[in-house]
Structure formats: C-alpha cells, structure tokens
Structure 1
C-alpha cells in the first residue's frame, strides 16, 4: 500500500506535470512561438508534510523541474514558473474546514483564513502574462503567510 501511494503521487504530481510541460514546450518550440508554462506545486514542498511525505516530496520535485525547465527553455522564449499554494478551499476539502480542524487550518495564516481558488488563478494569470517573463524560474508562494521561507 505504501509503495502504491508513492507511485500514484509520482505518476500524478511529477510525471504528469513533466509530460504536460514537455508537450507544451515541444509545441511552442516547433511553432517557433514564445510562451509560458506554469506548474502547481505546494507549500508542503518547503514546510514538510509528515502525514503525506510522498505529496511533499513530489511537489518539491515539481518546483525543481520548473526551475530546470526555466533555464533550458529560456533560449526559446519560454518562461516557466511555479506556484506554491498553501491550504485553499475547494469542494474536495470543504469538509475539513469545519469544526476544530477547520479552525486549526485557518489559524495557520495570520489572516485567519485559507486561500481561494480565485486567488491562485489570479497569480497564474499574472505569471502567464507578457509582463511576467522576467519571473521565469520563480516559485511564487501563495499561502497567506502561513509558511515563510
């Protein structure tokens, strides 16, 4: 079970990201057009995930992949960046935001709340914009000061 969980995380978080990044880059290079690749990592890559080590490790690998691609793809006009969201509300985690667990999660940020999908999307839209090219290689922390590095 343990090895299968690691394999799932590797397949989805890292290999899936690598394959999509490769396909996007190949398409841009073949057409001779510049572009952007933005990967989604996690603050768990930096603060650790003791209950979910495979998640934290594979998200750290996503950030390392993005930085490697930023260097190798820059000559083609392709900027690569990553975002590292903290806890944010989605349908999948809505039940965790109730009761004591929800209070504990919200207390991780001095804002006393979790992020929203719209906040993550807004950062991705900016990273995809022409004005964000110089941020290639960056890992943008989006966690409401719940983890500082």
Structure 2
C-alpha cells in the first residue's frame, strides 16, 4: 500500500480551535490538504482554515452526534467537487467534556450528559472511522486513523466519569480496528494526552490550581497542543505503520501505566 508522506487528504473532526486547530496546522505545514470540521463554531473554524499553510483545504460543518450528520460530513470532506477528492487520514478529535460529579448531579442531568458524551466521543468516532475506512479500502492505497483519547481513560475522572469511560472505549475501538483494518494497509492508533494548555482551559493554569496542574508532571509544566499534534502527525505517517494498535501516552510522566 503506497501511502504518501505528504500531499495526503486529511479529515480532522472538531478542528475549530484548541488541539483541533494545532492538528490542522501541523498537517498543513507537512504539505497535506485538510478538511477542517466544526460542529457549531463556524467563525473559529474559518479562522483555523485561514491559518493553514498551503492551499486546497476545505471547511466542513456538521453534527457528528447524528449518524446521518457524520455521513454527510465524510461525504462532503471526500467529495471530488468542493472536497478533498478522497480520504487518506482521519483524526478523530471531536469530543465533549462536561462536568457531572455523581454526588452533585441530578439523575436527569446525569443521564442526559452520559448520552451526549457517548454520542460524540464514542459513536461519532466509530461512525467516522467506518465511513473513512470504507473509502480508504475502496481507494486501495491504505490509510491512517488516529484517535484522540485521554489519560483519564486510565487514571479515572471523578468529576467527568462519562468522559473517562468514553475515552477508554475509544482506545479499545482503535485497537479492534487496528486488527481488522491491517489487511487493507490501514493503521489505527490512539494518543492519550494528559493536561495540555489551550485557550479553553488557560484560565485553570493560574493560581493554586495552575500550580497543582503543573506539579502533576515531574517536568513541572503542562503539555502543549503542538506536542500532541506532532505525535499525531507521526502516527499518521507512512513510517508509523508498525505502531498500529498502540495507545501512546502523552502526559509528561504524570501518570504511568503498568
């Protein structure tokens, strides 16, 4: 299977800001063409699109929590007219992470928030993976799928249990797909980041909370979106095929698995 090192067609879900923007920029700087997906933040997504090096990038909005919406996003991203003309790489980055500690959350809110996390974090990832992989199989040139998981899948998330549970499921999904898609030259891997700085969580890095977050790592700092993006770019590269099935910890030694 001949997967090029650059010039690939890359769909990144949830790419309007934060890690999604850093991912889009890393692939664009590598010479790839990127479909920037957004759910509701169109203005932010357009800012991401405008920031990308090179040309041929496209903007694709849509609700991934709806299976029909996911199919529409994949179709428009891969379209010959107005899209990328196919898909070589999928990065499943879209996610929700809303607090719902059990002791402080009503049953109605608890059930609603679990459904939202499952719909976006897990089912949208599964559906986009199917849609992208089928295109890669039909193209006959192999491909890459990289999932954004979380350190919380391993250490627990007491205030965000649905987030931790769905990210653990994303890791398991990636390993299942790594086995089933290998005969088609499609490698599947996941990353499990710890806390990393984006504009959405920058306020947490001040004062005592910020000091506690930085103290989680022996490096005494938080991670960066660019560090996560660099690892994803490598996992999506032709030379990373043998890493298929891996879950790569990116947490500055703040949580060590045995």
TM-score by structure 1 length?
0.98
Answering whether residue 181 of structure 2 is matched by residue 55 of structure 1, we say no
Q: What residue is the counterpart of 2:198 in the other structure?
A: 90
Answering whether residue 137 of structure 2 is matched by residue 29 of structure 1, we say yes
CA distance in 2, matches of 1:97, 1:56: 21
Render the CA deviation track for 1:64-107: whole Å, top value 9, x for unaligned: 00000000000000000000000000111011111111111111
TM superposition shift of 1:130: 0.8
State the structure with bigger RCO (CA 8 A, min sep 6), 1 or 2.
1
SS in 1 for 2:216: coil
Higher helix proportion, which one?
A: 1
Answering whether residue 245 of structure 2 is matched by residue 132 of structure 1, we say no
TM-score by structure 2 length?
0.57
CA distance in 2, matches of 1:91, 1:98: 13
Point out 4+ residue stretches in structure 1 off by more than 2 angstroms. none
Q: What does residue range 69-148 of structure 1 map to in structure 2 within 5 Å?
A: 69-148=177-256
Task: Count the aligned residue pairs.
Answer: 149
The structure with the larger Rg is: 2
Render the CA deviation track for 1:29-88: whole Å, top value 9, x for unaligned: 111120100000000000001111100000000000000000000000000000000000
SS in 1 for 2:223: coil
